[in-house]
Structure 1
């Protein structure tokens, strides 16, 4: 009897939840080797180009070896409350976060979470955008390099309040009230030049693994002028519409993304718009080896968004994907071809001049893991 009585508390103690069981950690490192087949004399010319910075290239920023990212993710996931911190280092962090403050330049996400019930979640702080099909963490994408639509035409992060409501297993809603685009309230890509917040709304429909659909809108005052020497400007709203569709059927996965952006006149006398579309396919040949492809087209008819450069862009990327072990992704974007259109289309430096066509190959290696 004595032995039986002492065994019960031991069993209860063994199953007792510990506070650190709700903490998750993740880390990754992302490095690459890239070749610009124009072989310009300046190895940085792939991103500095013949006409200045090439705005649509993301984190494969140099011709040769480079470290895109080193990242650390820490999260506390309690029953009702939580907190998330995502830190990013490397040259890619500056291009993602866009803040020259030595501390803020490393913070990709920092927010607290309240979950009052199993359907509703609130996040307050700085968090990644809900829009678009690709992300900075490229092992979650189909290709190693990120597309022009992702890097040129979509937000990266917001600071404010996010509310998500999961109506049922198929339908969900997310709403945003935020400072603006890529702003943390302390610098970012610049201070928000008005009093008005940006608003966002997204509906998601997931009837099966074969179809996931997200339709979103995001808008806010596009003018600036808030400051000690300028009048407030809370009008001139910009509107961004985003549609993402993806899914998988057997070994085949697909993804599509369409964006349409209406921008205010900004003193030009009339509003303008630009748009872009991306489509991709990936096929798993074996458990460790796969292939993928991506096509994109971006259009800026009035040349107001990509000022002084091209007004149209086409890209095509073919990728070989190899995952020899669980937490290692080796990807070769064997060929990425880009064609710019318009009066300022000769943006790619060559040995003896410039071209409207860019051709690169990039080998990327990403190690990631966590618990």
Structure 2
């Protein structure tokens, strides 16, 4: 009888353990941000707020609210990143979906991903919680924001990685369809935190298919408190006779656990017959203050200048200064 009871208890323990192992891992995270902004010119607006109409970024506004649902079990998992607000309206490709993808870890080094995922180009990202500055650069606003397709990531070591991707043209939404066979081939080489990115193909359903995107993103810890980030990009299309190039530096110093100061100088230039080599410069001084482990204030004092009248939100001005204070909460 004791043997039977022991066997039943052992079987029950094994079943419970198996059920616990089969549950997988579920995580929930997200961000919320709001801002107040003003400028020192006669016209309304703020460059780099990332809304469809930057001239409407005045006084107080809503930025971005997203919730990321992630579930992983064994070698596979899914991520659903739902985002709302003016910033999300600009960046999302499918309604409220910022990202929606499934992945499979074929080996410890090789991972396949399919769906809609944020771009691998550039230094800045859509969510302000992951950016040092609140207003975004001209390089970031030039896009792309996200891609829909498949990619393969291969981690050779902790220092070296490779990525290949086949996606729709990045301006196509899931609702558009891809009737023009507008696709892109993407690649990335990463080495010790430095990334060289490449995209070739179409931009949207009506563009030429010879666009080339070259992008370098990286950074260096120059001391225990001082960091230098770098983003440089070059985009061209011979058939459409257009493109752009630019570079931005991210100089950031951490003074304490709760305060950091950063400077982002940027030069951005359109190329080709359609834009006649128009250029703009922007310098942004940003202060980050952590009020709690989840809530931080980002203050941007920004100066934009262009003799070609291409300042975002200010098409009739050669220069403008703006001040933006944002509260960003992450969980």
Q: State the TM-score, normalized to the length of structure 2.
A: 0.87
Q: What is the aligned partner in structure 1 of residue 68 from structure 2?
A: 73
Contact residue 348 and residue 358 of structure 1 kept, 8 A: no
SS in 2 for 1:32: strand
* Superposition deviation, residue 119 in structure 1: 0.5
SS in 1 for 2:272: coil
* Superposition deviation, residue 10 in structure 1: 9.4
Match of 2:214 among 241, 253, 262: 241
Change in CA separation of 1:120 and 1:359 when aligned onto 2, cut-off 3 Å: same
**1:122-141 matches, cutoff 5 A:** 122-141=112-131
Contact residue 121 and residue 165 of structure 1 kept, 8 A: yes
Contact residue 222 and residue 237 of structure 1 kept, 8 A: no
Match of 2:185 among 196, 199, 203: 199
Match of 1:302 among 254, 272, 289: 272
* Superposition deviation, residue 358 in structure 1: 1.6
SS in 2 for 1:133: coil
Contact residue 77 and residue 83 of structure 1 kept, 8 A: yes
1:108 equivalenced with 2:94 (yes/no): no
Match of 2:161 among 168, 172, 176: 172
Q: What is the aligned partner in structure 2 of residue 214 from structure 1?
A: 195
Aligned partners of 2:213, 2:311: CA distance in 1, in Å? 28
* Superposition deviation, residue 273 in structure 1: 3.6
* Superposition deviation, residue 192 in structure 1: 4.5
Contact residue 256 and residue 279 of structure 1 kept, 8 A: yes
Q: What is the aligned partner in structure 1 of residue 45 from structure 2?
A: 46
Q: Which stretch of the first structure deviates more once superposed, 13-22 or 249-258?
A: 13-22
Q: List 4+ stretches of structure 1 deviating above 3 A.
A: 5-21, 221-225, 344-349
Q: What is the aligned partner in structure 2 of residue 311 from structure 1?
A: 278
Contact residue 158 and residue 178 of structure 1 kept, 8 A: yes
* Superposition deviation, residue 264 in structure 1: 3.5
Q: What is the aligned partner in structure 2 of residue 144 from structure 1?
A: 134
Q: What is the aligned partner in structure 2 of residue 338 from structure 1?
A: 304
* Superposition deviation, residue 221 in structure 1: 3.5
RMSD in angstroms over aligned alpha carbons? 2.8
Aligned partners of 2:144, 2:10: CA distance in 1, in Å? 55
Q: Which runs of 5 or more residues in structure 2 are unaligned? A: none
> Alignment length, in residue pairs?
321
Q: Which runs of 5 or more residues in structure 1 are unaligned? A: 48-53, 207-211, 226-232
Change in CA separation of 1:220 and 1:363 when aligned onto 2, cut-off 3 Å: same
